[in-house]
Structure formats: C-alpha cells, structure tokens
Structure 1
Amino acid sequence: MSLCLVGNWWMVPSPLADQGAWCILEQFLTTNMTYPQMEETFSSYLGDQYVADDWKDARNALFSGNGDDSIALTNLYALKARHMPLPSSSSRMNGHLSSTPVQ
C-alpha cells in the first residue's frame, strides 16, 4: 500500500484503490461464489474501511450485464481502472485508459 503526501499530511489511499477488494468482486463474476458469500468476504476483508456507499457503483457493475457476466466483468474492470493507481511501467494507450463502460 503506497502513501501520498498532501500538504503536510500523509494520507492512506482510499479502499477503492485496494487490489484485493477488486479481486473479491471479480471472483464473484468468475467463480461459483454467491452474492452473500462475496458480501461477507468483501466486508471482512475491508473491515472498518468498508463503507457500502463507496462501493455502490462497483456493486451495480456486478449486475450490469443483464445476466452476461463477461459484460459485467468488463464494466467492473472499467470502474476499477478509474480508482486504481496505474503502475509506473504500465502499458497505456496515449497515456489514457478508457473508463467508458460497455453497454
């Protein structure tokens, strides 16, 4: 977990930038994990950093494919890209990643 300096205060990144949290959401779409199992694992993983409203868009993305988990996963990846810091050696197209969800 990296820290960033804002003014004179060290700040811990948002839980929305936690790779492990996104992996749990991805597991829901790619395994036989049930929604209640995902919610339990997710809230346990984040502990007191879990704020349901912060993850509303991510939960909506889980069901955005109208039954097609590959579409929902694409939408989840697009949302994740908006919240995850890019690695310094990432391969970016013209320095930008698309954050447009698939409809």
Structure 2
Amino acid sequence: MIACMVGASLSAHAQTQGPDAALADGWRAVRVADCARCHGKDHEGLAAPSIVGFARTQSRERFIAAILDGNPQMGMPAYRGNPLIENHIDDIYRYFAARADGSLAAGAMPGRE
C-alpha cells in the first residue's frame, strides 16, 4: 500500500518537474525498494554485485530485464508486478546509467544542489 502511494507521488513529481525529477524518482524508488540492503550503500556491491557496474556493462534492455525478472537462484527477487518499480523502471535505469557514466556521484541525491 505504501509503495503504491509513493509510486503515485513519484509519477506526479516526474510529470511536473522534467528529467531531473525522473532521476530523483528513480533514486527514491531504489531507496524504497532498499536495494542497498544487498548491493551496498552506494549500490557498488556488498552481498550482491554492483548495480552501477551492471548498468555500465549491460544494455538498457538487459538491465531492465534483470530488475523485473530477478535471479531467484542467486537471491535477486523479481520486481515484475511491483508497481513502484515497474512504474519507475526507466527512471531507475537513468539513475544507474548516470552513476555508471560518472555524471552522478555516489551518495548524491538527484534534484538537490
């Protein structure tokens, strides 16, 4: 329920604020999903591999499929059917692509100066 409310709020924010808001929405969705729990504080690896490194080496399509389909054998849950993630999958990809290409620093919160 909370994820649905956050997702609706994120959608409204991105529609009114443009590309920077989309990056911020991706960041927020990743925080709500608590990807850091397995992928580390800066998503550069911990118990699970680096999401930033994965975004650096994989196509957009492969990145999105990995998030939505997961890898249950390795402990990665599938997020297909999770409205917070599905509704912001492009924003999440943009966030990690920006981290991967260095245009967004680790620990930076998009949308804040």
TM-score, normalised with respect to structure 1:
0.39
Q: Which has the higher strand share?
A: 1
Q: Which has the higher helix share?
A: 2
TM-score, normalised with respect to structure 2:
0.36
Determine which structure has greater relative contact order: mean sequence separation of CA pairs < 8 Å that are 6+ residues apart, divided by chain length: 2
